[in-house]
Chain A
């Protein structure tokens, strides 16, 4: 241990080589993945002209909602990744009809794979909820998770909603339908704030309803 420059080089290169080997190699391997059509032209292996491209860009309000999702720390309990059929029971639970692949995430600025499933996976939540009543159901879920799942350990987010006087035109369209014990006093209604609207828009935008050349739905 007399040769200090050598020791220093060892300390430096042990970290640098691993970084090159893991992070930079990944970047070289698939850092330039592009959006593509669901199937490729069998001859040219190019996207088929005229077909829609996937994954799609998240719409504006949903993008705002993603910031709410991050700032509430939803990622500590919910993953956004579906493991392949046969590895775990993600497919059987209906969390997604195919496994998620790297291309699904390329347009996201913050990739929220998540590490805990204290709550269910949300990669495909927009497809899983009912088409017509899904939005109302999600608002209700956020306002008080116990309504649809008694005993759930999801925290309520009532601070994302506000109580207001019912106007002369009657109840607002977006007023929450609540069970009797949670309803506000007569004359009042509970409506979502801008943040709750955005968060629900984001959740509804999470859909794994397309194929990719490397991952087909079953």
Chain B
């Protein structure tokens, strides 16, 4: 009655061996990611309140709006985003390459260094020592340590790839490999041109915009897409629809998305060709987006029932649909006529939530729900909490995006009408900011459910380990007299 054939059994055993070799580094990265998410969300909530009640925490210099904003962005991206990307990316890489990760100690030390330097970076942002370039606020003293620890972490993905046992290269491997190479180059270049040796005048702004869009396009996006490409067919049990076109999707993404950035500066003091290239690249991005969208959605919706029953698929379906939506919105707002309205407004804030939260984070949550039970060999303690997490996140983030988009649009049209005074604009945008708080709290509830579920699972794992150690120790103790 064994449903598995001999080869399948062998395959399963090998995968679980790889999983257990990835256990400790993945646990470290995931625990830090969850803690950063918690911390970052708290900062985000503080600032949501501050936008309506500027007196809130106003007398403490550490918590002034600007600093909290910088700390919020950086803890969400480098804290939550990078840690979870390390965990998910390296785990998928190891599984697809069918290699065990050796010398895990170095990976653990590098992970601790990454997080420790990030801690001090965020602390120094709150103390007021940070750079003015967006997404590059972390102070000069911290970034070399970050890059160094990144090198030690990223190299494990590349080593796994170098010693891969699999004959074929799967599309997820390509995405992760490329992201592992792209990020350090991008980060070093941006650090050089914006922080260490700032280039002249508004070229800084071009380089900063280019960095922001590429960090999203060349690190955050590929990791999330790799996870979706790996987990959708895995859970659905069917290969990716039109799989061969996935490689075309990858290469067109690599060639096109690197040129995005100029569209962020429409109307700004930069050459108009930089802006035009950004707009053109954004439109061309629709090619990979459509390919990837077809790959994902057609596979997903071939088995609709499965999506509703598997939390992993639920999160990933939500994220991958939002990827397509996000990119279409991005094309729209990079048009000069629309940008004239939405630029400098809350609409861009909504767009940031869309990219980081509705797309990237949701796919990462889905991956976490899949990988943690396999790595620790324990099931999630509560299915209800998972459902709560999904509902809260989906409702909360959709609500924030809609509230801020509408609010941003109104704000933009009012800004472009000089007859409306600035204070009137401030007052009329308060309604959407109130909605932002409500939906922010809903997200926070979901986050809390996730955190509780995660730490309960961790606790169960630790208890299991203790029992295991205890029983081995007791057995030894029992055996001891016979040896004597």
Query: B52 contacts which chain A residues (CB < 8 A)?
Result: 153
- Give the residues from 180 to 216 in chain B that come closer than 8 angstroms, CB to CB, to chain A: 181-182, 185-186, 189, 193, 198-207, 210, 214
Query: B129 contacts which chain A residues (CB < 8 A)?
Result: 71
Shortest beta-carbon distance from A20 to chain B in Å: 11
The answer to whether B218 and A15 touch across the interface, beta carbons within 8 angstroms, is: yes
Query: B268 contacts which chain A residues (CB < 8 A)?
Result: 81, 83, 113
Known: A88-B416, A153-B51, A153-B52. A100 touches B269 (CB 8 A): yes
The answer to whether A22 and B344 touch across the interface, beta carbons within 8 angstroms, is: no
Known: A10-B254, A15-B258. A110 touches B277 (CB 8 A): no
The answer to whether A73 and B70 touch across the interface, beta carbons within 8 angstroms, is: yes
Known: A72-B64, A75-B66. A23 touches B254 (CB 8 A): no
Q: What CA separation (Å) do A153 and B254 show in the bound complex?
A: 41
Query: A102 contacts which chain B residues (CB < 8 A)?
Result: 201-202, 269-271
Q: Interface residue tally of chain A, by bracket?
A: 35 or more
Is chain A's interface secondary structure helix, strand, loop, or mixed overall?
loop
Shortest beta-carbon distance from A28 to chain B in Å: 10
- Residue B427 CB within 8 A of the other chain: yes
- Contact pick for A93, options B202, B418, B430, CB 8 Å: B418
Shortest beta-carbon distance from A173 to chain B in Å: 26
Query: B426 contacts which chain A residues (CB < 8 A)?
Result: 151-153
The answer to whether A31 and B186 touch across the interface, beta carbons within 8 angstroms, is: no
The answer to whether B130 and A71 touch across the interface, beta carbons within 8 angstroms, is: yes
- Give the residues from 94 to 138 in chain A that come closer than 8 angstroms, CB to CB, to chain B: 99-106, 108-118, 120
Known: A76-B66, A92-B418, A151-B426. A108 touches B59 (CB 8 A): no
- Residue B264 CB within 8 A of the other chain: yes
Shortest beta-carbon distance from A36 to chain B in Å: 14
Query: B65 contacts which chain A residues (CB < 8 A)?
Result: 73, 76-77, 155
Shortest beta-carbon distance from A102 to chain B in Å: 5
- Give the residues from 218 to 232 in chain B that come closer than 8 angstroms, CB to CB, to chain A: 218
Query: B254 contacts which chain A residues (CB < 8 A)?
Result: 10-11, 14
The answer to whether A83 and B267 touch across the interface, beta carbons within 8 angstroms, is: yes
Central interface residue in B177, B182, B426, B430, by most chain A CB within 10 Å: B426
Known: A21-B277, A27-B199. A110 touches B259 (CB 8 A): no
Q: How many residues of B contact A (CB 8 A)?
A: 78
Query: A21 contacts which chain B residues (CB < 8 A)?
Result: 259, 277
The answer to whether A154 and B54 touch across the interface, beta carbons within 8 angstroms, is: yes
- Contact pick for B64, options A18, A75, A157, CB 8 Å: A157
- Give the residues from 7 to 25 in chain A that come closer than 8 angstroms, CB to CB, to chain B: 7-8, 10-12, 14-19, 21-23
- Residue B69 CB within 8 A of the other chain: yes
- Contact pick for A23, options B61, B206, B348, B415, CB 8 Å: B206
The answer to whether A1 and B64 touch across the interface, beta carbons within 8 angstroms, is: no
Shortest beta-carbon distance from A210 to chain B in Å: 15
Q: Supply 20 further A-B pairs (C-beta < 8 A) apart from A15-B182, A153-B50.
A: A8-B181, A23-B199, A26-B274, A31-B199, A72-B64, A72-B128, A73-B70, A76-B66, A84-B267, A88-B416, A93-B422, A102-B271, A105-B201, A110-B132, A114-B344, A116-B348, A151-B427, A153-B430, A155-B50, A155-B58
* A to B CB contacts below 8 Å, 8 in the list: A15-B258, A31-B203, A32-B200, A75-B66, A81-B267, A89-B416, A153-B52, A159-B61
- B residues bordering A, Cβ < 8 Å? 50-52, 54-55, 58-61, 64-67, 69-70, 128-134, 168-169, 174, 177-178, 181-182, 185-186, 189, 193, 198-207, 210, 214, 218, 247, 251, 254-255, 258-259, 261-262, 264-265, 267-271, 274, 277, 340, 343-345, 348-349, 415-418, 422-423, 426-427, 430
Q: Which 9 A-B pairs rank lowest in CB-CB distance, beginning with the nearest?
A: A73-B66, A92-B418, A18-B258, A117-B344, A71-B128, A83-B267, A14-B254, A106-B201, A89-B418
